[in-house]
Every structure is written in structure tokens, then in C-alpha cells.
């Protein structure tokens, strides 16, 4: 059997505690490391800009869920799954009854979640928690156009960029800036 990603449902707020418990069970030998190879609580970094200061924090992508990479054998899968299910705070595997063999998520779903959390090779995505709309007045606080004020012309949410019209030498000039370089007026 090949390795696949499975998702277990937990009480919200218990994700890190259950992750530590699973790692402890792996280290003590109660769960075979050949069967359970990886435990992940998918997190994303969120940057919030307030009063010109940016603060970053980690948010759970799936509150109440943990990703497990397992190589479940055809025989003996029940013992491993029952050990996982009986951890305090775990309600079960997503999409299956307790007496059924768990079903893995698709490789595309797993890849997408791991990319969002930055666990796959590549650039970790950072989500900026700030909303801009066309015609909002903003002040540029960083970069070559610092201290300029202007009006938002376009908002590129996927790139975390804005196109802002600023007055340079008495002319309206469009400038593309990062969301973290501006604040609303």
C-alpha cells in the first residue's frame, strides 16, 4: 500500500495537543512509524496591518482537523486506527464510520492544503488581512513612494498588490505597490 493523506476530526482547539500526543505515541512505539509517517496541523500565516504596523500570526487552515500521512496495511489497520480514534479529543476519521477502513483524501486535495500551509517545497503563501476597494484613499508608508497619498485604482488580491494613482510633479501617475506598503486614510 502506498502512503496517503487522511484527515481526522477533532475538538476545535485540541489540534496541537492531539498532534503532540500522536508524536508521543510514535516515539514510544505504540503506533508503528512505518504506518503513521507524518502528522500536520495545516496553518497559514496572516499579516494584519493596523496603524501602520504589521503583525503576523498563524491561523489554522482547517480548525478542528488534522492531516495524517499513513501507509495503512491491508491487515492490522484497525488497531492503528482505533489507537488514533481513542485519543481524547479525536472524534474520528473524516468520511467513515468507526468500523470502516478510513478513506484517504485525493492527492490534489492534500497537495493544495500542504501548499497553502507552506509545507510543500515552494514559497509559503502569506494572506494579508486588510480589505481595499477601488476609490479608497491610501497613504504609502514604505518604499520609494513613501509619504505619497493617492486613490486605489485596482486591487490584485491574488498578488497582494494595489495600483494607486498618486500625484507626481502635478500629474496623476499609477504606481503598483504591495498591500503592506500602504494604509487607509
For residue range 11-47, list pLDDT tens digits in order.
999 999 999 999 999 999 999 999 999 999 988 888 7
Residues 58-73: tens digit of each pLDDT? 889 899 999 999 998 8
The residues near 24 (Cβ < 8 Å, ≥ 6 apart) are: none
Please report which confidence band the pLDDT of residue 7 belongs to, taking 50, 70 and 90 as the band edges: very high
**161-168 vs 4-10, strand pairing mode:** unpaired
> What's the predicted TM-score (pTM) here?
0.69
Mean pLDDT of the residues in the chain: 87
Mean pLDDT along residues 113-129: 69
Quote the pLDDT of residue 82.
Answer: 92
**Under 8 Å between Cβ of 22 and 86:** no
C-alpha gyration radius of the chain:
23
Rounded CA gap, 80 and 85, in Å? 9
Instruction: Identify the band that residue 51 occupies on the pLDDT scale cut at 50, 70 and 90.
Output: low
H helix runs in 57-106, sequence order: 77-85
Amino acid at each position: 500500500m502506498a502512503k496517503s493523506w487522511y484527515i481526522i476530526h477533532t475538538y476545535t482547539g485540541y489540534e496541537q495537543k492531539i498532534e503532540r500526543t500522536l508524536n508521543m505515541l510514535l516515539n514510544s512505539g505504540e503506533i508503528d512509524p512505518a504506518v503513521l509517517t507524518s502528522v500536520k496541523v495545516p496553518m497559514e500565516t496572516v499579516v494584519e496591518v493596523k496603524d501602520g504596523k504589521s503583525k503576523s500570526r498563524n491561523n489554522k487552515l482547517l480548525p478542528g482537523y488534522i492531516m495524517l500521512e499513513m501507509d495503512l496495511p491491508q491487515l492490522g489497520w484497525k488497531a492503528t486506527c482505533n489507537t488514533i480514534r481513542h485519543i481524547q479529543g479525536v472524534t474520528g476519521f473524516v468520511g467513515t464510520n468507526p468500523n470502516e477502513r478510513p478513506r484517504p483524501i485525493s492527492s490534489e486535495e492534500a497537495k493544495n492544503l500542504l501548499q497553502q500551509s507552506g509545507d510543500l517545497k515552494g514559497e509559503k503563501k502569506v494572506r494579508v488581512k486588510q480589505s481595499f476597494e477601488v476609490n479608497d484613499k491610501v497613504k504609502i508608508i514604505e518604499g520609494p513612494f513613501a509619504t505619497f497619498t493617492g486613490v486605489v485604482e485596482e486591487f490584485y488580491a491574488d498578488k497582494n498588490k494595489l495600483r494607486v494613482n498618486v500625484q507626481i510633479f502635478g500629474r496623476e501617475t499609477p504606481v503598483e505597490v504591495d498591500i503592506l506598503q500602504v494604509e487607509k486614510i
